[in-house]
Structure 1
Amino acid sequence: MDLESRVTSQAAAPPNKLDAAVLKVAGVVVLGAIMSILDITVVSVALPTFQTEFDATYAEVAWTMTGYTLALATVIPLSGWAADRFGTKRLYMLAVLLFTLGSALCATADSIGQLIAYRVLQGLGGGMLMPLGMTIMTRAAGPERIGRLMAVLGIPMLLGPIGGPILGGWLIDSVGWHWIFLINVPVGAIALVYAHFALPKDAAEPSESFDFLGMLMLSPGLALFLYGVSSLPETGTITATKVWTTMLAGAVLVVSFVLYSFKPRHPLLDLRLFRNRNLTIASVSLFVFIIAFMGAGLLFPSYFLQVRGESTLNAGLLMAPQGIGAMLTMPIAGTLADKIPVGRTVPFAMALIAAGFFTFTQVGTDTSYVLLCGSLFVMGLGMGGTMMPIMTSALRTLASQDVARGSTLVNILQQIGGSVGAATMSVILTSQLNGSAPIPGMTDPNTGEPVTEAGAAIANQHGAQIPLPPGVFQRGLEFVADSFATTFLVGFVLVLATFIPIAFLPRKRPAPEPLADTSAEGAAVPAPTMIH
């Protein structure tokens, strides 16, 4: 489409309205996001089933999550270069194909080793889905409509942690664990066909040299660092050799890449984008927020499971108010993000999250479900008005040729923040639970270690029927509840810390981006709009 036609198309689609062509593109991206995000949370509830099916330890089955995360971390840095080099449509369809193929293979696994290998293949596809999806949607919407369109992408990002445990619990109980992977196959097939017809043809891009040296530093560096972080809950201490050595090696490689990345003309990850103040502030805000909320948020279902003795399905249903709250505010927040600077709206949404989160710092063994579900609903209202507006702020002022690389930066920060947050909260909870008093004369027959009051209480909540002296069960249960409350208090403090970076989010509307940019080579670069 020539420049004159693009002007006519933009004029026909007002900035405050999403036309059918743009919504059709959004549908493709949402399908991919649903597969990728739901898969993470669905598999998390299947870990005990994997232990039984494959006669494996928890540390072994946890690699089905860790392997997927490491594959994501390895491939995300490549997404920006590959999107520029091969085109977003081709690469997005390849990512969907890899993810779908990996899902089908996971369902055929007959050993824990095979399942881990197939999960890595899934991760290679899943790691590209989100950054590519954000790039496609940012280009399709244009700077004036990106807020509303990003709100559409935010729905699966927020509903995944709620819908995943519900879906996973139901599938495992009703038809077997294989179906938590097989369900992705028809969805993936639909997404492939949909993408083929809905996404515009890729425009030819000038070839860039691939930064092999940068790849050899950044991808292994991220993988090693996240491996060390992911090992924290298992070891319980950062002084464990497998934790600090891999984290240190990964950190050295990542820092080396940062120092090197300003030298090549086309680095694997363009950190020069952080010269854009808007992107920098939004990225820092998002990173702190992800650590605070996502880390502690993963423990909300665990409280219902371990303290209240709920089934996996019921724990997922009790989390539903959070998703309902997010669904109510997300469309509103998306519209406001296109009209009002995010610095004027996000602080109010964060205040709702903090208010709802505070309730969980006071949880006990019999805290009212009405109060907890109400607090989750309030947090959902805040979530709907926080994450996607911040992402919108990060990408809105980038030139169109920088959108793919900007999306990659944002997704890497999300991945690192989520892993660090989850590991930090898990370590805090584990250290709290380890302080429980041992039961005199009672040892674990498998390990020979003393059985603690907290451990016995959690086991009995899940039907173990361990005979306990009078008062031990209630005492252990109260200790577990207090441990969760302490962990949530740390999360609450981190939520409050998020107010510092968001105070610097833009409070004035940015100047509108010109229709055409001029690259360093002097070629005209179209504005980030992709209309049929």
Structure 2
Amino acid sequence: MTSAAPLSPLEAADHPANHPRRWWLLAVISLTQLMVVLDGTIVNIALPAAQIDLGMSDGDRTWVVTIYALAFGSLLLLGGRIADYWGRKRTFMLGMIGFAVASGIGGLATSTEMLLAARGLQGAFAALLAPAALAILTITFPSGKDRIKAFAVFGAIAGGGAAIGLLLGGVLTEYASWHWCLLVNIPIAAVAVIAGWPLIRESRAHGDTRYDLPGTILVVAGLASLVFGFAQAENGWVRAETLGFLALGVVLLLVFVWVEARTNHPLLPLRVVAHKTRGGAFLVAMLVGAALLGGLLFLTFYFQIVLAYSPIMAGVASLPMTVTIMICAPILSKVLPQVGARLPMTVGPIIAAAGLFYLATFVTVDGSYATQVLPGVIMLGMGLACLFVPLQNVALSGVDEHDAGVASAAVSSAQQIGGSIGTALITAFYAAAVTTSVAAGAEPLEALVDGYSVAFVWAGALILCAAPISFFLIKVTKKDLLDSPDVVHMG
């Protein structure tokens, strides 16, 4: 990392790290994170009603989810670099306004094609919005206990937003219409733009700010191929379409790494991911994304299909996980400076896996929520809190401000790709288990529960892998969490 010239008194006063209202700014950024996270699950609740209303096929229904993930996952690194070079405030505002417009188009959709186009636009603008928001947070809280508290809030929302989306989606679908599961983003975005405009200070990278066109093309094509390939894996792993796109994605990303190592202005500087601790954090983010999305998906199915819960009740049943995260987050933020990041990031996956294994062991067709589900959901929330509170902090620790946007995008990209991989893997194991159970003479609901149990086991196994990674790779000390960064560049 290079050193920067000392800031003048005027520059120092205007730097985001010296923002007198930065806790209000954190509220705006957290609202943004909540909108992006809950949008993934709120639409899932609305899909059955939207399918009937628009006359969608099952394949089109799947594309409503896939096309968002495709645009979001493939464009994240480009969005991060746009934030660094064009300006994080500008990129944040454009992403927020664009996301609101796309949500309005989707909410007013009168055809399948209109809804799919809106979802693609949502993903593209989310790829601008998410890294810009996290980069603003990173440079506004560059070090110390305030940074730990800020990232604890951000992490708690990242972990609990999915469950909030299930509840809000259930309420809106049942008492309004599926259209409002998209239209609800408009007032949220309006509040964020109006409140954020006077609060957010512009910052951007200086020095070499040329865009890496070859790298951009390679990584967008590579990530899109991977996301699409894993989405197709739900229909079969050995299909030519699945294997072809997965292989193409791997080849393109390998070529991308080769190009990035040789260019003077890389889209993703390899120093960002090659650092041992940050690389470990990115792997953990991928595994958490895989387990969380896969696990919550089948937990929702269990509530609605087997226990016959309404959409609202399914959302309420998921809330204890969110409440647990919200309770644990401030406690962890206080003890993190004393214990460091390694301990909670090692213990957290074990507790989360125990919760998923509990669900796999005890869920039944006529099960009791209080005894067979609630303890597992609470353990899952405790484990996720141990991960989410330090994860973003560790993943962005020591990153040069020049690379704040693209480093933030790399974290989001890891979680997004992890979610795609996890959903495809867990769905494949679930389907195989249901088929085996039916062949053995099980009743339909019993076969589904057998499938859900297998899904929870694999989700638990995935997140458990994060424990040894954290133990051996996460080397951020207590001092590292509190020390100031070495580099400050202002735009």
Q: Does 1:35 align with 2:35?
A: yes
* 1:189 to 1:9, Cα distance in 2 relative to 1, 3 A: closer
Question: Which of the pair is proportionally richer in helix?
Answer: 2
Q: Does 1:151 align with 2:120?
A: no
* 1:179 to 1:274, Cα distance in 2 relative to 1, 3 A: closer
TM-score, normalised via structure 1 length: 0.85
- What does residue range 290-369 of structure 1 map to in structure 2 within 5 Å? 290-362=289-361, 363-369=363-369
Shift of 1:379: 1.7
Deviates more, 1:267-276 or 1:48-57: 267-276
Between 1 and 2, higher relative CO (CA 8 Å, sep ≥ 6) is seen in 2
Q: What is aligned with 1:378?
A: 379
Q: What is aligned with 2:127?
A: 127
1:66-90 Cα distance to aligned partner (Å, 9 max, x none): 1111110232011232122111000
1:145-174 Cα distance to aligned partner (Å, 9 max, x none): 322111121233122221112111221121
- The unaligned stretches of length 5 or more in structure 2 are 1-5
Q: What is aligned with 1:498?
A: 466
* 1:178 to 1:142, Cα distance in 2 relative to 1, 3 A: same
* 1:160 to 1:8, Cα distance in 2 relative to 1, 3 A: closer
Amino acid in the other structure paired with 1:251? V
CA distance in 1, matches of 2:28, 2:150: 12
Q: What is aligned with 2:3?
A: none
Shift of 1:218: 0.7
CA distance in 2, matches of 1:377, 1:252: 41
* 1:429 to 1:206, Cα distance in 2 relative to 1, 3 A: same
Contact 1:437 1:453 in 2 (8 A): yes
Contact 2:81 2:267 in 1 (8 A): yes
Contact 1:361 1:492 in 2 (8 A): no
Contact 1:326 1:380 in 2 (8 A): yes
Residue 404 of structure 2: SS of its match in structure 1? helix
Q: What is aligned with 1:84?
A: 84
- What does residue range 87-236 of structure 1 map to in structure 2 within 5 Å? 87-144=87-144, 145-202=146-203, 205-206=206-207, 208-233=209-234, 235=235
Which structure has the larger Rg over C-alpha atoms?
1
How large is the RMSD of aligned CA atoms in angstroms? 2.5
- What does residue range 243-254 of structure 1 map to in structure 2 within 5 Å? 243-254=242-253
Q: Does 1:398 align with 2:399?
A: yes
Q: What is aligned with 2:448?
A: 480
Shift of 1:374: 2.4
- The unaligned stretches of length 5 or more in structure 1 are 14-18, 439-451, 455-474, 518-524
Q: What is aligned with 1:508?
A: 477
CA distance in 2, matches of 1:380, 1:136: 27
Q: Does 1:21 align with 2:21?
A: yes
* 1:94 to 1:7, Cα distance in 2 relative to 1, 3 A: closer
Q: What is aligned with 1:289?
A: 288
Contact 1:80 1:269 in 2 (8 A): no
Residue 46 of structure 1: SS of its match in structure 2? helix
Contact 1:262 1:272 in 2 (8 A): no
Contact 2:155 2:389 in 1 (8 A): yes
Residue 309 of structure 1: SS of its match in structure 2? coil
* 1:347 to 1:202, Cα distance in 2 relative to 1, 3 A: closer
Q: What is aligned with 2:71?
A: 71
Contact 2:37 2:161 in 1 (8 A): yes
* 1:203 to 1:83, Cα distance in 2 relative to 1, 3 A: closer
1:236-258 Cα distance to aligned partner (Å, 9 max, x none): x2111221112222221111111
Amino acid in the other structure paired with 2:192? A
CA distance in 1, matches of 2:441, 2:388: 39
1:208-249 Cα distance to aligned partner (Å, 9 max, x none): 21111111111011111101111222x1x2111221112222
Residue 206 of structure 2: SS of its match in structure 1? coil
Q: What is aligned with 1:447?
A: none
Residue 434 of structure 1: SS of its match in structure 2? helix
* 1:5 to 1:343, Cα distance in 2 relative to 1, 3 A: farther
CA distance in 2, matches of 1:495, 1:152: 22
CA distance in 2, matches of 1:104, 1:2: 43
What is the number of residues matched between the two proteins?
480
Residue 436 of structure 2: SS of its match in structure 1? coil
Q: What is aligned with 1:273?
A: 272
CA distance in 1, matches of 2:277, 2:298: 32
CA distance in 2, matches of 1:365, 1:397: 50
Q: Percent identity?
A: 26
Contact 2:71 2:123 in 1 (8 A): yes
Residue 109 of structure 1: SS of its match in structure 2? coil
* 1:74 to 1:284, Cα distance in 2 relative to 1, 3 A: closer
Amino acid in the other structure paired with 1:183? V
Contact 2:205 2:402 in 1 (8 A): no
Deviates more, 1:131-140 or 1:398-407: 398-407
CA distance in 1, matches of 2:379, 2:486: 42
Shift of 1:526: 4.0
CA distance in 2, matches of 1:378, 1:493: 15
CA distance in 2, matches of 1:185, 1:290: 26
Shift of 1:20: 5.6
1:370-390 Cα distance to aligned partner (Å, 9 max, x none): 121122112212211212312
1:315-334 Cα distance to aligned partner (Å, 9 max, x none): 11111111110000112222
1:173-196 Cα distance to aligned partner (Å, 9 max, x none): 211111111111111112111121
CA distance in 1, matches of 2:441, 2:253: 43
CA distance in 2, matches of 1:149, 1:136: 12
